[in-house]
Amino acid sequence: MFLAINILGVFAFLGVAFLLSKNRRKIRWRSVAALFVLNVFLAGFLNMVPVGREIVRVAAEGFTEFVNIAFVGIGFALPNWVNAPQMNFITAALLPLLMIVPVFDILTYVGILPFIIRYIGRALSVLGRTPKFESFYAIEMMFLGNNDALAVSRLQIQNMKMERNQTLAMMSMSCVSAAMVGAYSQLMPAEFVLVAIPLNVVNALIVTNILFPVEVLPEDDVIYGLEEGKEKPPFFSYLSESIMNAGRIVFIVTCSVVAFVALAALINAILGFFHPSLSLENILGCIMFPFAWLLGLPTDEAFQLAQYMGKKLITNEFVVMLDVRELVPTFSRHLQAVLTMFVTSFANFGTIGIIVGIFKGLLPEEKVALISRNVLYMMLSGILVSLLTAAMGGLFVW
C-alpha cells in the first residue's frame, strides 16, 4: 500500500506543477518524459542495482576518507576539538570545508572540473532534450553551487532573454555544491545524500519545464561567453582567496544555524503562552503533512517528516540535520531515505534573497523585475524538486 501511495505522490507533485504552470501549452512534454525516465532509471540504478549501489558505496567511503584527511589539519590546529568524546557541529561538519572547498577550486583552476561539467551537461542535453545552456547550468550548479555557477556564467546570463533568467533562478533553488557533500555526509546517511544530488539536477529541469516553460529557438540554443578563458590569477593568490571563501562559508553557516535555532525557540516560547501544545513544529507539521504522507509513510512517520520538512523550508537544511542526526539510525529505512533526500538542497526562504541579490548584481533592473515578481514560483520550484527527489528516490528504498 505504501509503495502505491509513493507512486501516487510522484504524479501528484507533477500534477501540482502542471496546475500552477505559467503556460501549459508551451510545456515540452517529450523533454519532460525523457527526463522523467532518466530520473527513474537513476533512482533505481543507484538504489537497487548492485553496480549502482557499489558506486554509491565507494563514493560515500571516498567522501568519508576525504573528511578524515581534513581532520588531520583540524587536529593540528585544534586538537582538543577533534580528540573529544563527541565533536561539535562546527568541527565535524563545517571545518572540513576549509580543505574541501580549496580542493574543488583547484580542480576548477586546472580545468578538470569545467571539463567534467561541460561533457556531462552535453550528455544531459541530448538525453533530456533540453536546451544546451540549461543542461550545462544544471550540472554546473551541482558541482559549484548557485553562487559560483551564476558568477561563472554571468556573461551568458546577461545575454539571454529574461524568461530564461527566471528559469535559472528557479533551478538555483534546488542545488547543492559538491563541497558541501562532505558536511552533509557527516550528519545524514551518505548513500542517500549522494543519490539525491543527481536526482535534484534532473528534477530541477523537469519542474522548471512544467512550471515556467520557455521556448528556446535553435539560434539561441548555444553556450557562449563563459569565463573559462579569462586570465587566471596567480595560483597561490587564487588558493588563498579560496581558503578565505571557505572560512566565510563556515562563519555564515554557523551564524545562520545559531540564529535560526534561537529564533525557532523564541517562537515556540511565544506560542506556548497561548497553548502548551502549540509549537512551530506542530504548525509546520500540519501544513506539510499531506505532502509527507504522499511519500509513502505511516501516519505517525509522515507527521514527523512533515515537521522536519517545514522547519527546513523556513530555516535551512543544517538546522534539520542537527535535529535528527542522533535519531536517524532509529528511523525506518524508507523514512531515512526520503528525509535525507528532501533536505539535501538549498531550497529555503533565505536562498530566495541570496539568488535575487546575485541577479541584481548581474542584470539590469527590468530583467530582475521578472524574477522579483516570481519569487513564490522560485520557492514552489524548490519545494517540488525536493518532493520529487524524495518520492523518486524513496520508490526503491523500503
- Please tell me which residue, 289 or 364, carries the higher pLDDT value: 289
- Please tell me which residue, 384 or 350, carries the higher pLDDT value: 384
Segment 31-42 shows an average pLDDT of: 93
pTM of the predicted model as reported, rounded to 2 decimal places: 0.86
User: Quick one: what percent of the chain has pLDDT higher than 90?
Assistant: 27
Per-residue pLDDT band at 224 (split at 50, 70, 90): low
Per-residue pLDDT band at 88 (split at 50, 70, 90): confident
366-395: pLDDT as tens digits: 888 888 888 889 999 999 999 999 999 999
Per-residue pLDDT band at 125 (split at 50, 70, 90): confident
Q: How far apart are CA 395 and CA 2, in angstroms?
A: 10
Query: Is 90 exceeded by the pLDDT of residue 163?
Result: no
pLDDT for position 223: 67
User: Quick one: what percent of the chain has pLDDT higher than 70?
Assistant: 97
Query: Is 60 exceeded by the pLDDT of residue 325?
Result: yes
Whole-angstrom CA distances from 365 to 159, 355, 368 are 14, 15, 5
Whole-angstrom CA distances from 190 to 58, 104, 194, 316, 343 are 11, 19, 6, 18, 13
Give the domain ranges of the chain. Answer: 2-394
